[in-house]
């Protein structure tokens, strides 16, 4: 069973990633706890975790707000992600994967191609995201996968 702080973390992070809590907006701990049906302590733990990942900023007397993301932040994150994915490809190729091992990557590539034909940008983005996460997982390096997925988030 998931801990309440893990549930709060996933829910708040999802709201931020989908833009339902936009950059600069404050997050009310009490209201969030009430919405999630849990106490404030796990919400606070989740917010501290999100602060460590730079999703939110917690200021003394200023509340908690979703951190803005600058173009410089984005550029640096993509540089890190690119480096991790190069390492993932190198690790994966050293393992000499079978066709079955690569089936997930092939399937997601086909989904991206179908999305292009259908002019469905959202479907393409979802397939692309699944492709890159699978690539990092298939590298066989758990830390690379964990850090890479965190950066992609």
Nearest to 23 by CA among 74, 72, 70: 70
Q: Quick one: pLDDT at residue 1?
A: 59
With a cut of 90, say whether residue 73 has pLDDT above it: no
* Crossing angle (nearest 10°) for helices 121-138 and 99-117: 160
The string of pLDDT tens digits covering residues 19-30 is 889 999 999 999
Enter the pTM of the model. Answer: 0.69
Q: Are 64 and 26 in contact (CB under 8 A)?
A: yes
Q: Quick one: pLDDT at residue 125?
A: 93
Q: Which two tokens stand for residue 33?
A: 């706890």
Q: Which two tokens stand for residue 140?
A: 């066989």
How is residue 23 annotated by DSSP? T
Q: Are 117 and 127 in contact (CB under 8 A)?
A: no
Q: What's the mean pLDDT when you consider all of the chain?
A: 92
pLDDT-based confidence at 129, cuts 50/70/90?
very high
Q: Quick one: pLDDT at residue 150?
A: 84
Q: Are 78 and 86 in contact (CB under 8 A)?
A: no
Side by side, the strands of the sheet bearing 56-59 are 26-27, 63-66, 56-59
Q: For 42-76, give one letter per residue: b (16+ CB within 10 A) or e.
A: bbbbbbebbeeeebbbeeeeeebbbbeeeeeeeee
Q: H-type helices in the chain, by residue range? A: 4-17, 29-36, 40-52, 71-94, 99-117, 121-138, 142-152
Q: Quick one: pLDDT at residue 17?
A: 84
């Amino acid at each position: 069973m998931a801990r309440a702080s893990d549930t709060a973390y996933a829910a708040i992070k999802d709201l931020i990633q989908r833009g339902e809590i936009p950059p600069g907006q404050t997050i009310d701990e009490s209201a969030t706890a009430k919405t999630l049906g849990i106490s404030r302590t796990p919400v606070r733990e989740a917010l501290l975790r999100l602060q460590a990942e730079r999703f939110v900023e917690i200021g003394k007397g200023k509340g908690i707000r979703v951190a803005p993301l600058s173009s410089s932040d984005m550029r640096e994150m993509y540089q890190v992600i690119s480096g991790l994915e190069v390492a993932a490809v190198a690790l994966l190729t050293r393992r000499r994967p079978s066709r079955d091992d690569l089936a997930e990557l092939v399937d997601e590539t086909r989904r991206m191609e179908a999305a292009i034909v259908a002019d469905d940008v959202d479907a393409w983005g979802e397939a692309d995201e699944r492709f890159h996460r699978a690539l990092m997982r298939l590298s066989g390096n758990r830390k690379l996968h964990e850090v890479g997925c965190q950066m992609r988030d």
